[in-house]
Amino acid sequence: MPVSIEIVDTDAARGIDAAYAYFDDVDRRFSTYRDDSEVVRMNRDPQLPVSADLAEILLLGEKTREESGGFFDMRRPDGFIDPTGIVKGWAIQKAANLLSSLGYENFCIDVGGDIAFSGKNDVGEAWQLGIRSPFVRGEIVKAIAPGTAGVATSGSAARGDHIYNPHDPEHPIRDIVSITVVGPDILTADRYATAAFAMGEDGIRFIEAIPGCEGYQISAAGIATMTSGFRALTV
């Protein structure tokens, strides 16, 4: 998926190179499409020990499953353990931490529409984000200023039916087409966005109940529903 990194501070190339190298390492280790990745090896032989990073990811996945009442579940219907729903947000957060450790203060990292922000943009103002229409390519339906929060969107517009309801995997989610979650960090926003989309129209109520998170949900009929605090983020 596309990865975009913007660093406002000086000597940006060094940080961009470091972040891309990190994402390449994450892909090699945790991809479900590489026969030599740790995730694929774990599924072949569950008795193999896993790295500290994968153990952390698996624990986060199980925590999210419990918090969401099973609407987030890493175990596919065929039994394969797929931690992708955790790995992306986890990797973005780790990359943001890496840039901070290198001394960068003002940057954003966008991986497939899930974004971590830090500091200010290139004109010294708060970062702003446009939520794209799931129906019309290039159209922005809402603009927000999330500050240094993480923002993640889950939906079917870009990648089709890649998220399913684990309680009813045979029936694709059709009542909503996207949900955007603003959380205290990108890992939190991403894992809850995935769980919320799997809930269908009930997802926005799930986000409403999570302290520190706000959401913007778009139905298949084009009707938007937002959490009570989301309007304060709009510009």
Q: What is the pLDDT of residue 129?
A: 95
**For 146-185, what is each residue's pLDDT tens digit?**
998 899 999 876 666 678 889 988 888 999 999 999 999 9
Evaluate if pTM is beyond 0.85: yes
Other Cβ atoms closer than 10 A to 52: 7
Structural domains in the chain plus CATH codes = 3-233 (3.10.520.10)
DSSP structural state of residue 14? H
> What are the pLDDT digits (tens) for 101-123?
999 999 999 999 999 999 999 99
pLDDT category of residue 86 using cuts at 50, 70 and 90 = very high
